[in-house]
Structure 1
Amino acid sequence: MNTSTCDPSLGRVGAFETETAEALPGRGIWALMRPVRNRIHLAMGLAALGAVAALAAVAVLAVIIAQLLGPDPNPWPWAAVAILLTVISFYLRTQGFTVSHLAAFRLETILRTKLADRMARVPLGYLLQTGTGTVTKVMQDDVKSLHAFVADTTPMIGRSVATPLATLILMLIIDWRLALLALGLLVVGTGCVMLAMRGSGELQRRYDEERERIAGAVVEFVQAMPVVRTFDDGASSFGRYQSALDGFRDVLAKWLEVSAVSAKISILILGPLPTLLALALGGVLLFT
């Protein structure tokens, strides 16, 4: 198989998936998701609408409180609206995750089928050179790893985009100064996230390589067991496995060391409680 035409951005899956990689415009994981792109877009849209409905239900609560504090309180119609919006929000969120999970299962089937078809036609020498551990990681672990992103993360992306935008519009309607305060927190938190992600590309590459080394060492140790029992005590084979584990541990420790502090700060700043406290303090300073 000629792997030189493969898009390197698709990783080792693309190395086995030449025909698919050539047919897919775009880069990275989104290119791999092209066979189920419409379903993913639908899931993200449903999740976004569900987030907007949930925010609208919270906004209606403010109207209910205003009705209760008014001279002629009649909160029941608005309470019915809030309940309806809450039900709609849960329904849309559930449907979004259902669609994304079905799309993820469909994508796994497509990728594994095409990978198996490709490897059935590559030279045996290429498979021997690549190693069964790497092949197993691609067909099993790498494709399985896509499931979490396709099934769970894509609807959350829709929600994470729609909720801040809808919240910003709502705060602009209430008071533009509160909107600017919230934007300031978002900018600071985003900066911390960028610090946490620095060097992630190289670390991700090393992380994948060490996982492949572990998979290859395990397969080698198991396949060589008859020979080990006869001629060796297993020290050399197990030593390669231990070396792979040590390399994986070092990469993971380095990644955590680089990103731990900034990641914790970003989670703290972008959390609901700090934002609520900042907006409450801003409201007190602006309106009292």
Structure 2
Amino acid sequence: MSEFVKIVEVGPRDGLQNEKTPLSIEQRKSFILDLMQTGLKNIEVGSCVSPKWVPQMANSTDLFLSLPKDKHINLSLLIPNLKGFEQAKAVGCKEIAVFTAASESFTQKNINCTIDESFEKFADVLAQAKADEIKVRGYVSCMVDCPYEGAIAPVQVLKVTQKLLEMGCYEVSLGETIGTATPDRVKKVWDICLSEIGSHLLAGHFHNTYGMAIANIYQSLEQGIRIFDSSISGLGGCPYAKGAAGNVATEDLYYLLSNMGFETGIHLDELMLASKNINKVLNRHNPSSFAQAYWQNDK
């Protein structure tokens, strides 16, 4: 039996939040409904942040509430604080995500606080989530490089990740936020983290600025990581990282995993339809290498 790799689809949140033109709730809903037909079991719907700061994520709780609920598909929301948690809880969300970074400068720019202050902000959230039996996933940005500080020490990544797990996160996703890493550097981070933390608690989140995302995922697979974030059609980026391209495309991740003998649960035809539809809505080119080959061969 093939080994299963968990994929967390972040296109509706991490992808769309970086699009210049916000989509309507109906457009976002259609996108997620398409994704729900692909076999993906984990989809990040949006985030409970102020529309003043991220207008693309406005009304994410209304969007969540409008979606059909399937016990086999985990729909989640990103939240910045206790207020966001209460909003997510009010619409019946059973999994939330909190976010910090391994870089002090990035944390200040991204969420306007220090790393320690971010932990203080999340303490009440995690305590309340535990009481309400709501799962919490953690994100740590800048696992290799920071756009402001440069290289980040792997031990700093370990420290922040351990703290999130101690506070109650069931899983922590390490983000290669600006896409500058190469497999040798990714290996050093995993070596440090895996010396103290089980691989089942860790996920990889790779951006593709320099075309290294798939290579870095392959390195991660070699070291035992079996959870990855991806974004259909490579949607996304980072507003605080100059020139940072989108996330690794779900299509490319599917190709790598399926051809290496891993099970993903993805239905290819439905995945490619969802990809085609969102690109049409956004009037954008699909940067996924697999998608380009797929549609060329389909002609």
Higher helix share: 1
Shorter chain as normaliser: what TM range?
under 0.3
Task: Looking at secondary structure, tell me which structure has more strand per residue.
Answer: 2
TM normalised by structure 2 equals: 0.21
